[in-house]
Amino acid sequence: DGGITQSPKYLFRKEGQNVTLSCEQNLNHDAMYWYRQDPGQGLRLIYYSQIVNDFQKGDIAEGYSVSREKKESFPLTVTSAQKNPTAFYLCASSIDRGSTQPQHFGDGTRLSIL
């Protein structure tokens, strides 16, 4: 079955450390997205990519970086510049590169500070 796989499910970060969250999809979708989910808030877009080797900043890109070297992979790095990284991170994809409408989501990665 096709879908989105995020790993790890739980991740802990030490102060000053960069961590990378994995997102892989086998849906052959062009567009991929990273969202951050905080309690009591809607999802906020961090970065999105509509095609390989291209990505755009979302609403809260500061302190994060991404790459899109392969169509099926869109890893997110949470850098030490992100001062409040504790959150639930969701990766999503959509077949249509022309819109920012996520269709499929992964099961998320919960990031916490040690």
Applying CB under 8 A, the residues found at the interface with other proteins are 4, 6, 40-45, 90-92, 98-103, 105-108
Nearer to other proteins, 46 or 92 (CB): 92
Closest approach, Cβ 103 to other proteins, in A, equals 6
Instruction: Name the minimum Å distance from CB 2 to other proteins.
Output: 14
Please answer whether residues 93 and 25 qualify as being in contact, where contact means their C-beta atoms are separated by less than 8 angstroms. Answer: yes
Least Å distance between CB 40 and other proteins?
6
Q: CA 86, CA 19: separation in Å to the nearest integer?
A: 12
The whole-angstrom distance between residue 79's C-alpha and the CA centroid of its chain comes to: 13
